[in-house]
Amino acid sequence: MRKTAFREGGFREGLEESLPWLPIIVAVGLLLFMVLATGFRLLSPDRDDVIVEAVPGFTLPAPLRPAAVTSSAAPAPAPSATGSLSPAVRPSFSRLPVRTPSTRPSTRPPAVARPSSPAPTVTGTYRVMAPYDREFIGEVLVTNSGAAPADWVVELIFPDEVGELRTSWVESAPQATLSRSGDRYIWRSGAPVAVGSSAPLRFQYAHTGTGGRPSSCTVNGTPCSFG
């Protein structure tokens, strides 16, 4: 009986001592329930937007804090006191390379310099030596200005007023060989002309006028000069 009375008396005393703390325990339990409910809402994948109400005097643990929303858009630059953009946030513009017209290599073959024709070494000078009423005596003076003796060929063509050839000869030199082809008279040298020397080819023609100038005169294919 004493043990039972002691137990009942002790229980009553313990209950009476714990009654003042009962409201505090209930409040703490409610606070834990709210925290757990809020964490469940944050971790739920079906919710896109979650509003977390802060409880005074309580800090959420790190895993339950809402993540900061980041945006890929760059923040707008803040104008400075002078109204211009700050140098740190000024937009940079890269200068595009300037394309210059490409120079394509020419497909044309390089020009080949043609060797200039050597100056003729054997030339002739035509002149009328003695004019008469119905004939005249002319001359082609063949000159060799080359470095070696050279043969020569004289060709003459006269207009219609010049008639037949009377005679021809080479003064003080071996005689030439004469041939005719149509209105062309051709003399070929009987001996080469020495270097720095001349061979006078002379001829006598009949004519009906006063002229004795040929329409064509060449020595070795080079036109004659007229003296």
Q: What is the 3-state secondary structure (H, E, C) of the chain?
A: CHHHHHHHHHHHHHHHHHHHHHHHHHHHHHHHHHHHHHHHHHHCCCCCCCCCCCCCCCCCCHHHCCCCCCCCCCCCCCECCCCCECCCCCCCCCCCCCCCCCCCCCCCCCCCCCCCCCCCCEEEEEEEEEECCCEEEEEEEEEECCCCCECCEEEEECCCCEEEEEEEEECCCCCCEEEEECCEEEEECCCCECCCCEEEEEEEEEECCCCCCCCEEEECCEECEEC
Q: Is the pTM of this model over 0.95?
A: no
Query: Which pLDDT score, from 0 to 100, does residue 46 have?
Result: 53
What six digits make up the tokens of 30?
Answer: 């409610």
pLDDT digits (tens, 9 = 90+) for 162-202: 999 999 999 999 999 999 999 999 999 999 999 999 999 99
C-alpha 140/C-alpha 124 separation (Å) is: 6
Query: Which pLDDT score, from 0 to 100, does residue 50 have?
Result: 46
Query: Which pLDDT score, from 0 to 100, does residue 89 have?
Result: 54
Residue whose C-alpha is closest to residue 78's, from 88, 69, 70 = 88
Among the residue ranges 31-35, 133-137, 194-198, the one predicted with the least confidence is 31-35
Q: How confident is the model at residue 114 (pLDDT cuts 50, 70, 90)?
A: confident
Q: Which residue has better confidence, 50 or 116?
A: 116
Amino acid at 105: P
In the chain, % of residues over pLDDT 70: 59
What would the mean pLDDT of 67-75 be, rounded to a whole number? 50
> Within 10 Å of residue 162's Cβ, how many Cβ atoms?
23
C-alpha 207: how far from chain center = 70
Q: Which residue has better confidence, 184 or 52?
A: 184
pLDDT digits (tens, 9 = 90+) for 91-111: 566 676 666 665 666 677 777
Q: Which residue has better confidence, 55 or 183?
A: 183
What would the mean pLDDT of 51-70 be, rounded to a whole number? 51
Over 60: is that where the pLDDT of 75 sits? no
What would the mean pLDDT of 107-120 be, rounded to a whole number? 73
Residue whose C-alpha is closest to residue 34's, from 12, 58, 18, 11 = 58
Answer for the pair 173, 152: CB distance below 8 angstroms, yes or no: no
Query: Which pLDDT score, from 0 to 100, does residue 119 have?
Result: 82
Query: Which pLDDT score, from 0 to 100, does residue 69 have?
Result: 47
**3 state DSSP class of 34:** helix
